[in-house]
Amino acid sequence: MTLKDKTTVTFYNGLTTIGGPMIEVAYNKSHILFDLGEVYRPELGLKLEDEDFQTLLKYQLIGDVPNFYDPKVTGKEIDTERWEHAAAFISHLHLDHSKALNLLAPEIPLYAGPITAEMLPALNEKGDFLLPAAGHDKTYTRPIIAAEYKKPIQVGDLTMEVWPSDHDAYGATSLIIKTPDHKKIAFTGDIRLHGYHPDWVHEFLAAAKGSDLFIIEGTGVSWPEEKHDDNSEEFTGPKNEVELTEEIVRLQNINPKRQITFNTYPTNVERLLRIIADSPRKVVLHAARAHLIKRSINEDYPYYYLPGEEKFTDLNPELEVAYEELLHDDHEYLWQAVGDYNHLQEGGLYIHSNAEPLGNFDPAYKPFVENFAQHKIEYKALRCSGHADEKELKEIISEVQPAILAPVHTLHPELEENPYGNRILPKRGETITL
């Protein structure tokens, strides 16, 4: 047996930072890379057009991964003698897991769950979501193969399975890789137990049980100093997605004669669909959001345009609601406000549900909130995290009981422990042999 006949795992990026995990599993002449995101560092002030390959490497926004990136981007050929079989995978459509997917060499197949595969080209329609592919217009999104859930995909000697999971990105998935030397490697992607589908998560964890290596995100242990901060909105707000939707319904019921508007994050489609389904009022979306939903899941919902906005040809004209009608309404509609806040009614209610600006760390947040107060509109933040908290992480680990635990995607990987075996804290670029 040579080293080539053993399973190796290399941790290229996204280890002691939140986001951007890039990890390679290899056996003999086959290898798989996951994910293909970019670490989010707004403080660098980089614009999409500044983000050339060398800049991305310099700031460690992506990993320096050999034999996967497009030679047109790196200037280095892929060693096809060493590697006969390659594939890549992205767990979900958040930018810290997907933004660099166009850098993947065109001949290497890229897999994702079906919803992720469908939505990413729609999100990148204007060319402002993903990094551009070499030799293509910025609106181009390279082909993504929609993986059938739980169905084995062969990549040379390696077998991978994509499992539906739960996170605040619609269609989020987890991954299991099996190798010829009977090693099982599981990767959570971003995960939580308090979303709409804890049952899916438990099913994935059962399949991952006894993994030789369990790679887990640890966003929830990143701020140990804030753990007992009972004044934070996270603690006074809803405990899970179901409670969050219930609260939005309750606010409509107790305010029969009051203008109510809201906003959510574009990629959290499921929350929006639940709000639409459960609300006693008729929910009206901004046209851009209605278009994203139409392109992603081919469903039509009532929508409106702000004055002067360009029309989308794929939206059903019968579902358009006049903006003036929304501005004067106080009982019929719950509508998505995305701007022009100064024209909302005094005494109205605006619900900010993990929409942008996301929070205090964004300099735009404070003035955004203050503007509502100035116009005598009640501002209510209703949040629900996409990530498992410390307790949920323990529960997740206890369901898998891995031989080796590798925490990634966290400011404090050392705070995640493995009572069932070893815990490793790999360095950037480090390879381990299983």
Can you give the binding site for Zn ion, defined by CB under 5 A? 94, 190
CB of 190 to Zn ion, least distance (A): 4
Instruction: Put residue 252 in one of left, alpha, beta given phi > 0 → left and psi -120 to 50 → alpha.
Output: alpha
- Nearest distance, CB of residue 110 and Zn ion, angstroms: 18
Question: 190 vs 241, which CB is nearer to Zn ion?
Answer: 190
Copy the structure tokens of residue 166.
């739960």
- Structure token pair of residue 133: 């592919």
Distance, CA of 286 to CA of 311 (rounded, Å):
11
Q: Which CB atom, from 62 or from 326, has the smaller least distance to Zn ion?
A: 62
CB of 97 to Zn ion, least distance (A): 6
Query: Which two three-digit tokens encode residue 276?
Result: 């639409």
**Residue 61 and residue 52 in contact, taking contact as beta carbons nearer than 8 Å:** no
Convert 75-86 to b/e letters by CB count within 10 Å (16 or more is b).
eeebeeeebebb
Does residue 357 have a cis bond before it (omega within 30 degrees)? Answer: yes
The residue at minimum Cβ distance from Zn ion is 94
Q: According to DSSP H, which parts of 287-355 are helical?
A: 287-297, 323-328
CB of 361 to Zn ion, least distance (A): 16
Instruction: State in angstroms the smallest separation of the CB of 409 from Zn ion.
Output: 9
Q: Which is nearer to Zn ion, 98 or 102 (CB)?
A: 98
Q: State the alpha helices, DSSP H only, in 106-240.
A: 114-123, 198-208, 233-236
Choice between 94 and 352, CB closer to Zn ion:
94
> Strands, E, within 125-241: which ranges?
145-146, 153-155, 158-164, 173-178, 184-187, 213-217
Least spacing, CB of residue 169 vs Zn ion, in Å: 5
* 51 vs 190, beta carbon nearer Zn ion: 190
Cβ proximity to Zn ion, 40 vs 420, nearer residue: 40
Structure tokens at 5: 């006949």
